[in-house]
Structure 1
Amino acid sequence: MVERLEVTVQMPRPTEDDVARLRAAVPDDPRVEVRPMFGNLGAFVGGHMFAGLFGSQLGVKLPEEELAELRAAGGGDFGPPERPMGGWVTVPDGADTARLVARAAEHAATLPPKQARKKR
């Protein structure tokens, strides 16, 4: 018999200011959908999340070469410290948040649309 190790991740919650910051940065595009994700908020295009909140952290999904550039400017891991999300980086203080979120939306729009999951 295999023992199952259960790991519990404490999900931080964003403040109203955090939510307003994300919503203000999301491009006005009919393809974009903003919806709750595990008590936080995510922005999606074609079923792909391209920007989101993890507590007060605002993260974006960008191509690998752009991630390195943003990390050099002060961006860090996005998501739970014990299991950060690959391909994501936090938006550093002083960065042009709206530009980065728009760029992340452009990147996500180039990916093939995700198929909707069947409801159980």
Structure 2
Amino acid sequence: MTWKSTGPGGEPLKWSKPPGELVRSFEEKVAGIDCERRKLFGYPCAFINGNMFFGTFTDGLFLRLGEKGAGDARARHGDIRPFEPRAGRPMREYVVLPERVRLDDSLLDPLLEAALRYVRTLPPKNRK
């Protein structure tokens, strides 16, 4: 299944359904966290007080670490990149995790904890 939206020039954007293994990994990680789970553009995501902090997108996982935390994670890991769901439009507080981080709990868990710490500092956001 593909979801469509439009880019800045009106061209259609196509996003693929996330692999089942990725969704299961996401669900396992959020299972013990008091958060709201809902889909955004068809992708499972997790929210605390209305603020998104963790989710799936196409074939990857992303985290919200804040601008400083995202910069620190990119510097520390090298292959962590900014989350850019639309080309040229990065979400500066978010990072996409490379496969080696996604598959290694000793790398993923501290980043997920950092995302939780960061998002809990944000004011509640009303759901639209």
The residue number in structure 2 matching 1:59 is: 62
* Contact map agreement 1:54 1:78 (CA 8 A) in 2: no
Q: What are structure 2's unaligned runs of at least 5 residues?
A: 1-7, 102-106
Q: Does 1:29 align with 2:23?
A: no
Please list, as runs of the form range in 1=range in 2, the aligned pairs for 1:1-120 lying within 5 A after superposition: 5-26=9-30, 28-30=32-34, 32-72=35-75, 73=77, 74-82=79-87, 83-95=89-101, 96-117=107-128
Residue 54 of structure 1 and its aligned partner are, at CA, apart by 0.8
* Contact map agreement 2:67 2:92 (CA 8 A) in 1: no
| Amino acid paired to 1:90 | V
Deviation sequence 1:9-47 (CA, Å, 0-9, x none):
2112211101011122226233x1111111111110000
Q: What are structure 1's unaligned runs of at least 5 residues?
A: none
* Contact map agreement 1:9 1:80 (CA 8 A) in 2: no
CA distance in 1, matches of 2:51, 2:27: 17
Q: Percent identity?
A: 29
* Contact map agreement 1:52 1:59 (CA 8 A) in 2: yes
Residue 58 of structure 1 and its aligned partner are, at CA, apart by 0.6
Residue 60 of structure 1 and its aligned partner are, at CA, apart by 0.5
> TM-score of the superposition, structure 2-length normalised?
0.76
Structure with larger Rg: 1
CA RMSD of aligned residues (A): 2.0
Name the CA shift for 1:109/1:27 in 2 (closer, same or farther; >3 Å).
farther
Query: Which consecutive segments of 4 or more residues in structure 1 shift more than 6 A?
Result: none
| Amino acid paired to 2:53 | F
Name the CA shift for 1:40/1:79 in 2 (closer, same or farther; >3 Å).
farther
